[in-house]
Structure 1
């Protein structure tokens, strides 16, 4: 006797398809009509699926299968060869144009004192008006900045203090025509605040025995004594070169990560406390004009929500404005600092009006993963389209200031480097942008590796006069 088959569930005819027309269990939300239900049942049955696999697959041990695999391998090989040739072409040495060669043979033009914030032409404090940073009389102060790094790295202090006195380096920066300096620090520097080894202060004997925060303060003071404005930047949590793939340093806080993952753990509240510790030293220095809240906030594969970062930036910015309401609060874009598209839907709002400046970073490798590719290979039209979409709209539509707080190129560029540089500087000149070049340093801190982006020789005095200084001098003097 045949066992009795179980009755179908209510609303189910036993085929796996509900009487309401929806397939159950597979969650393939395909409505069925009377004339398609039998076809659908056949296509979703195990037997039918096996038949279809046999119909559409060719085993590799057949002649046709081997031919298809060979064709696919050839196509992949051609594609990889094309990509290799394209990358090799971008790496070919670029020959400087005649104007760059001529610039390198002449002395650097003397800097203009009128560009200095300390000159009689400006009345502090600064504020923002539309796309510009202005003084109390509405006169624009254009940030023509350079980065001086080191305090964010393993040695905890700005580079070069073993080579030249800080006053000499400040004078060098001024002689290059810059009117402001971005000074990065790490949270680990604030937390540990170690005593600085004597060898790192060989040219600054008056700082021997001081701790890292004291050296940082003395260096900033040397810059402002030279008439240069300073923007302090929280660069990274762990004292190291930025920016790698370590999730512990990708954002301003990392306490949501497993406890053993991060050598330096930090909550948002601690991040803000570190900011307060640093900036309390500069409350009475009017040429320390602002705080660049965090360097290149990012998430894995573009997963850092702008809204989350904007809210944290407001909390940190308002805490600092509570100490000194004259400071500019600088908020960088997400994803390597280049993306400010989120401002359209969610602008940053501070407790003090007219203090907000946005920042973007633009390098030759930026743009990777996008349809247009890296900026090193783009046409000018494609490059400008990306800039306008990411951050340029804020400037061109007179919505808010955007400071290009990092960009740079090597002293011996490839064709791709030169293409990126020419496109970027052409656009920066077209919109008369505020900018901050990376970097003045001739050597990287940890292993004393040569810094190819440097603007000075190893003596921290002799300028590197090439295509970069030529274009930036033109941008400064607009």
Structure 2
């Protein structure tokens, strides 16, 4: 009963904070600033000009009606996050929906599904608070984030809608939401990039309508993705000139570069075969004639195709010779029939680096195309490795609940981990396909993208790899040394850093996590309880939690105990 009461008190505290519409994200307030990336030729480089390799994975859920990482249903989400860092994933692409960003921009904070039965520290957090709490933990673990607008509306099937506007979400709202995000995260270099729109594509069925399908040219059509991406990127970069902009392709592209058909048929029986097709978001042929032009901000642009195997869809290049080809020839077939002309030419011709924003697929089970799917995965894996530093990638996906690809989390064969509950880590998929494509040094340590924070427990920081650690970042507050005195009976009293429960020199939501664990009788080790008594009444209780939350959100600037 006591734990239930405490959780309810925490919930009340969080709800009371919603009335404060002008508070700043705790992560943004504590961002170390300046560790940004830009493009030089076909490489992404850090602020010192050193090449980096973004090698990561996708983790979805904030694009869905649950508005949280869906694996929170099944596990301790922080335990999963820590394992992701330990496994060497240095960037996570996080899908979200435009309507959620837009709501936040208006001071509205829709709820996330309550998973406090697995994650006590998440009790009472709304979607905005939860998202920022996730960012703060990514920062702690040395993981960078790419925010991806996956759909117009928070909808588990929202990605099937072909365009960036839908219903109340207009093109203007799409742009406005992104500009708000630019303002929100411009001082938070945990968020290094924005993927403007996931998988623009055509309407369903063989009969394609230009009015319902993403196109790519120099027109003013409402469905011209090239125009909208360019305009949105420029608006973002005027506010936040340091963020990387990732622009995906479309699905269909005319063989003569001219979009002069209001409708066209792609049926193998009744179609005219006038268009090149590819995966949703994977067709960047239009870049040859109509490249994205960001002017003075061009060095922030990265093109981003998607690519999958035959279990997702049995494309023509997975048929014929591919079926019996050995691995080397299979890779050549995929390159010649798909990759080269759809997107690989962009890095080969020095136009831009690429981020393969989604790749992956099933590696276990009884699907009739499973062996062909694994052949595809070996081919794309090897192609990524061959193009290190020019071809970056985020694997799809961490989640257990992707129906046509599976995930790095599984309930089948795999390794159990603390906090995983009924989830396991998919060793076979990771060891054979993702691990070889992760950025590692000669000793096999994973290389992170933060200048100072090492990547998990098995990695190093970017600054450690290149010898460029930033000495100007704040360090934990040192312990005060007592001043020698001639009167030994007087013992110097060290000042108490109230609120800084983990002694890292900052007061943020990580301290709130520790305090919530104290209140839930989880007894975290190494915490000085004096630091948690923020009102000086000799008891650590929910009133102290309320004070800590008000301090983190900027409502108060000091604790009552410090006035005593």
Q: Compute the TM-score of the two structures, normalised by the length of structure 2.
A: 0.56
One of 379, 382, 386 as aligned partner of 1:430: 386
Counterpart for residue 60 of structure 2: 149
In structure 2, relative to structure 1, the CA distance for the partners of 1:401 and 1:198 (3 Å cut) is closer
Q: CA deviation at 1:230?
A: 0.5
Q: CA deviation at 1:345?
A: 0.6
In structure 2, relative to structure 1, the CA distance for the partners of 1:312 and 1:223 (3 Å cut) is same
Counterpart for residue 280 of structure 1: 183
The 5 A counterparts of 1:118-137 are 124-137=35-48
Counterpart for residue 383 of structure 1: 334
Counterpart for residue 200 of structure 2: 297
In structure 2, relative to structure 1, the CA distance for the partners of 1:441 and 1:343 (3 Å cut) is same
Counterpart for residue 324 of structure 1: 240
Counterpart for residue 557 of structure 2: none
Question: Do 2:409 and 2:426's aligned partners in 1 also have CA atoms closer than 8 Å?
Answer: yes
The 5 A counterparts of 1:52-71 are none
Listed one character per residue, the Cα deviations across residues 307-358 of structure 1 (whole Å, up to 9, x for unaligned) are 2211101111112112211000100111201111111111111141300011
- The whole-number CA distance in structure 2 between the counterparts of 1:212 and 1:164 is 18
SS, match of residue 319 in structure 1: helix
Q: CA deviation at 1:417?
A: 1.1
Q: CA deviation at 1:366?
A: 9.1
Question: Do 2:56 and 2:438's aligned partners in 1 also have CA atoms closer than 8 Å?
Answer: no
Q: CA deviation at 1:409?
A: 1.2
| Structure 1: gaps of 5 or more residues | 1-119, 255-263, 445-449
4+ residue runs over 6 A deviation: 366-370
Counterpart for residue 472 of structure 1: 434
Question: Do 1:224 and 1:288's aligned partners in 2 also have CA atoms closer than 8 Å?
Answer: no
Q: CA deviation at 1:391?
A: 0.6
| Structure 2: gaps of 5 or more residues | 1-31, 218-223, 252-279, 412-418, 441-564
SS, match of residue 210 in structure 1: coil
In structure 2, relative to structure 1, the CA distance for the partners of 1:373 and 1:443 (3 Å cut) is closer
In structure 2, relative to structure 1, the CA distance for the partners of 1:197 and 1:167 (3 Å cut) is closer
SS, match of residue 398 in structure 2: coil
Q: CA deviation at 1:234?
A: 0.2
* Number of aligned residue pairs: 341
Question: Do 1:367 and 1:373's aligned partners in 2 also have CA atoms closer than 8 Å?
Answer: no
Counterpart for residue 312 of structure 1: 228
Listed one character per residue, the Cα deviations across residues 173-218 of structure 1 (whole Å, up to 9, x for unaligned) are 1111110000110123335665435633434444433321221222
Q: Compute the TM-score of the two structures, normalised by the length of structure 1.
A: 0.65
Counterpart for residue 287 of structure 2: 343
Q: CA deviation at 1:154?
A: 1.9
Counterpart for residue 442 of structure 1: 400
Question: Do 2:311 and 2:404's aligned partners in 1 also have CA atoms closer than 8 Å?
Answer: no
Question: Do 1:146 and 1:439's aligned partners in 2 also have CA atoms closer than 8 Å?
Answer: yes
The 5 A counterparts of 1:349-368 are 349-351=293-295, 352-365=297-310
- The whole-number CA distance in structure 2 between the counterparts of 1:362 and 1:405 is 8
- The whole-number CA distance in structure 1 between the counterparts of 2:97 and 2:159 is 15
CA RMSD, 1 decimal? 2.9
- The whole-number CA distance in structure 1 between the counterparts of 2:312 and 2:335 is 12
Q: CA deviation at 1:220?
A: 2.0
- The whole-number CA distance in structure 2 between the counterparts of 1:325 and 1:213 is 24
